[in-house]
Amino acid sequence: MHRSRVFALLFDTPEQQAADATAFWSAALGASVRPIPAEPQFTRLDDAIPGLATVVQAVDDAPRFHLDIETDDVEAETARLVALGAVQVGQWLECRTLRAPGGHLLCVVPVHTEPGFFASHARSWE
């Protein structure tokens, strides 16, 4: 058995437009901006969507949205989603990038939230 939950909504934005996208989405959603110094490609939009990390990610690709699913077992959650029809298209550190039916990207990541919050909001899978 493992557990997972939607952790984050990411605004993937071409690198040259990331600052403008951050300014727009923070104002549009009434969020405060918090850069992540250890990972400069990510900028958090705090309190944009309660219970969900909201992030602008600078990418070297086309603009899009994607979800991060956090889990206490990356391999098991990846296998579960692949069995549902997703295809693994990449890996970055411990994270797996998948393409869901319909073409949408999503990432499977280790737990990032506080353990009690994760335990009370995650779904269990066999």
Mean pLDDT, the chain, integer: 96
Instruction: For 5-26, write each residue's pLDDT tens digit.
Output: 999 999 999 999 999 999 999 9
CA atoms of 86 and 81, how far apart (whole Å): 6
In this prediction, residue 7 carries a pLDDT of 97
Largest CA distance in the chain: 43
| pTM, entire model | 0.91
Mean pLDDT of 115-123: 96
CATH numeric code, 2-125: 3.10.180.10
Which has the closest alpha carbon to 52: 69, 38, 65, 37? 69
Instruction: For 57-76, write each residue's pLDDT tens digit.
Output: 999 999 999 999 999 999 99
Mean pLDDT of 29-55: 95
CA atoms of 101 and 41, how far apart (whole Å): 27
In this prediction, residue 126 carries a pLDDT of 87
Instruction: For 96-106, write each residue's pLDDT tens digit.
Output: 999 999 999 99
Mean pLDDT of 25-37: 96
